[in-house]
């Protein structure tokens, strides 16, 4: 084995390929073939693409399927605290040993083929799932869909969550272009579920080309919301008195509705999933870093939001869950994010901004971030710090009983504060 520890493997992978992001399936395909793999995996595959709601959708699907007694594998990214979070079986992160053994098998098979950090992770996840003989895998696309490493594997069901502007340098500068990239996960004659009532036409047209049945919110399946419950129905099924998902935000109903359409398709395909198991799965689902609330005299809220649609959802939640005091925001973002747009959406919900720098080649400095914030936020409401930890310390020392501290802008931002707590 090239390395004995997971940190050694990961450090090496970070510099193995000449660039961090290199879309395309040729290199990873060669390695998977060398591992005697096939694009059709020996278990059911649900592939999830979209801009927002991917993580929540994966978590709800996994929670319901595990409650129903199926062995589940989930592959998600990025992680918050530990790399192992990316590859889970029955909601439990795989061990360092399991991942290192998968890396070793990949390293042997790849010969001289270069792989990115993400490609290594994707192959490791599927390799482990195959070794563990799981029933169903839920694979979250990293970026886009068509050229993403996850798309090497054929989806039995494609789930496309809400699409908005993000990664525009790679995916395109409008929803139709981005939608076409996301639609790349669709397979011929295989169903695709769309969370949005107004999905991009590019998604629907590509599905039509492949004779892939489309199940679309508001058209194929419907939701009726009650005060503390909801009802879901399509032509074949109806589930009543469903609990509100245990994830904060009214928009989680949109994610949950599409998840239930996936569940309905699985039932039609022979899976046994009872209504009570669906309810239990929705009630017990957990997901770190999505409006994660830590109570106290000063409440803390951690959210990985980093784009326009996410900011709109966050602004709505801050309004729906008011605080008697002020909202103090610790924010740090990556260079490719539109911090100015995010700030313009959240400005009326935030009383003071503590702008922090993020390290690494992709991180935005506090000066760059402050400059973008200042397009809609007055200078007297912005305080700069070199690091997330310093910004958090400054916000915390400024907070009084009844205030809340919101930490958001990136997975890296949330990670830094969770490590402090």
Cβ proximity of 160 and 194 under 8 Å = yes
Cβ proximity of 344 and 310 under 8 Å = no
Cβ proximity of 153 and 47 under 8 Å = yes
Confidence of residue 133 (pLDDT cuts 50, 70, 90): very high
Burial 331-344 (b: 16+ CB within 10 A, else e): bbbbeebbbebbbb
CA distance linking residue 5 with residue 221, whole number of Å: 47
Token pair for 398: 């400024």
* Whether the model pTM is above 0.85: yes
- Given a cut of 90, is residue 171 above it in pLDDT? no
Query: Is it true that the peptide bond before 142 is cis, omega within 30 degrees of 0?
Result: no
Which residues, 6 or more positions from 179, have their beta carbon under 8 angstroms from its beta carbon?
163, 199, 200, 201, 202, 203
Cβ proximity of 293 and 420 under 8 Å = no
- Given a cut of 70, is residue 170 above it in pLDDT? no
Burial 286-301 (b: 16+ CB within 10 A, else e): ebbbbbbeeeeebbbb
Most confident of 63-72, 142-151, 244-253, 301-310: 63-72
pLDDT tens sequence across 48-62: 999 889 999 999 999
Cβ proximity of 110 and 32 under 8 Å = no
Confidence of residue 371 (pLDDT cuts 50, 70, 90): very high
CA-CA-CA-CA torsion for 215, 162, 53, 261, nearest 10 degrees? -10
Sheet containing strand 327-331, edge to edge, reads 292-294, 299-303, 404-408, 327-331, 352-356, 382-385
CA distance linking residue 138 with residue 159, whole number of Å: 10
Query: What value does the mean pLDDT of the chain take?
Result: 93
Q: Which helix (H) or strand (E) holds 281?
A: helix 275-284
What distance lies between CA 81 and its chain's CA centroid?
15
pLDDT tens sequence across 136-164: 999 999 877 888 999 999 999 999 999 87
Confidence of residue 23 (pLDDT cuts 50, 70, 90): confident
- pLDDT for the residue numbered 165: 62
Residue 93 vs residue 165, higher pLDDT: 93
- pLDDT for the residue numbered 360: 81
- pLDDT for the residue numbered 144: 77
Confidence of residue 336 (pLDDT cuts 50, 70, 90): confident
- Given a cut of 80, is residue 78 above it in pLDDT? yes
Mean pLDDT of the 260-264 span: 98
- pLDDT for the residue numbered 168: 52
Token pair for 187: 């397979």
Alpha helices, H only, 43-115: 54-67, 96-110
Which residues, 6 or more positions from 213, have their beta carbon under 8 angstroms from its beta carbon?
191, 192, 207
Cα atoms found within 13 Å of the Cα of residue 391, Cβ hemisphere only: 31
Confidence of residue 169 (pLDDT cuts 50, 70, 90): low
Neighbours of 158 (CB within 10 A): 30
Cβ proximity of 162 and 188 under 8 Å = no
Q: In which residue are the tokens 């008195």 written?
A: 241
Nearest Cα residue to 216 out of 162, 273, 295 = 162
- Given a cut of 90, is residue 317 above it in pLDDT? yes
Instruction: Kindly list the distances between the CA atom of residue 369 and the CA atoms of 76, 95, 309, in Å, as whole numbers in the listed order.
Output: 27, 37, 19
pLDDT tens sequence across 187-198: 999 999 999 999
CA-CA-CA-CA torsion for 230, 231, 234, 237, nearest 10 degrees? 130
- pLDDT for the residue numbered 173: 65
Which residues, 6 or more positions from 224, have their beta carbon under 8 angstroms from its beta carbon?
230, 231
pLDDT tens sequence across 343-363: 999 999 999 999 999 988 789
Confidence of residue 22 (pLDDT cuts 50, 70, 90): confident
- Given a cut of 60, is residue 134 above it in pLDDT? yes
Judged on CB neighbours under 10 Å (0-12, 13-18, 19+), 246 is: middle
CA-CA-CA-CA torsion for 217, 219, 220, 222, nearest 10 degrees? 60
Cβ proximity of 196 and 163 under 8 Å = yes
At 24 the three-state DSSP class reads: coil
Count how many residues are written for the chain. 421
CA-CA-CA-CA torsion for 229, 234, 235, 241, nearest 10 degrees? -10
Mean pLDDT of the 2-24 span: 87
């Amino acid at each position: 084995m090239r390395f004995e520890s997971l940190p050694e493997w990961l450090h090496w992978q970070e510099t193995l390929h000449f660039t961090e992001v290199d879309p395309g399936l040729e290199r990873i395909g060669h390695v998977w073939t060398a591992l005697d793999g096939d694009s059709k995996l020996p278990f059911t595959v649900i592939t999830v693409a979209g801009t927002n709601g991917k993580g929540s959708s994966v978590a709800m699907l996994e929670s319901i399927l595990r409650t129903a007694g199926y062995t589940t594998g989930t592959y998600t990214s990025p992680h918050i605290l530990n790399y192992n979070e990316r590859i889970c079986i029955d909601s439990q992160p795989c061990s360092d040993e399991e991942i290192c053994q998968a890396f070793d098998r990949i390293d042997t098979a790849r010969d001289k083929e270069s792989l990115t950090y993400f490609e290594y992770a994707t192959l490791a996840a599927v390799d482990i799932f195959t070794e563990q003989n799981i029933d169903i895998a839920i694979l979250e696309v990293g970026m886009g869909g068509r050229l993403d490493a996850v798309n090497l594997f054929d989806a039995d069901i494609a789930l496309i969550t809400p699409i908005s502007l993000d990664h525009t340098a790679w995916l395109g500068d409008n929803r139709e272009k981005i939608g076409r990239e996301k639609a790349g996960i669709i397979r011929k004659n295989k169903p695709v579920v769309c969370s949005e009532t107004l999905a991009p036409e590019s998604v629907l047209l590509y599905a039509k080309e492949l004779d892939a049945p489309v199940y679309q919110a508001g058209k194929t399946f419907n939701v009726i919301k009650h005060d503390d419950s909801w009802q879901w129905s399509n032509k074949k099924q109806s589930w009543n008195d469903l609990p509100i998902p245990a994830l904060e935000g009214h928009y989680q109903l949109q994610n949950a509705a599409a998840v239930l359409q996936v569940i309905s398709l699985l039932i039609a395909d022979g899976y046994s999933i009872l209504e009570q198991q669906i309810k239990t799965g929705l009630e017990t689902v957990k997901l770190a870093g999505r409006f994660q609330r830590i109570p106290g005299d000063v409440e803390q809220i951690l959210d990985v939001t980093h784009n326009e649609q996410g900011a709109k959802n966050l602004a709505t939640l801050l309004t729906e869950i008011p605080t008697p005091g002020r909202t103090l925001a610790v924010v740090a973002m990556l260079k490719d994010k539109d911090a100015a747009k995010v700030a313009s959406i959240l400005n009326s919900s935030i009383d003071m901004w503590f702008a922090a720098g993020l390290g690494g080649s992709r991180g935005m400095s506090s000066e760059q971030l402050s400059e973008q914030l200042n397009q809609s936020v007055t200078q007297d409401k912005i305080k700069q710090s070199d690091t997330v930890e310093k910004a958090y310390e400054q916000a915390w020392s400024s907070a009084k009983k009844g205030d809340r501290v919101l930490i958001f802008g990136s997975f890296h931002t949330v990670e830094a504060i969770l490590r402090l707590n």
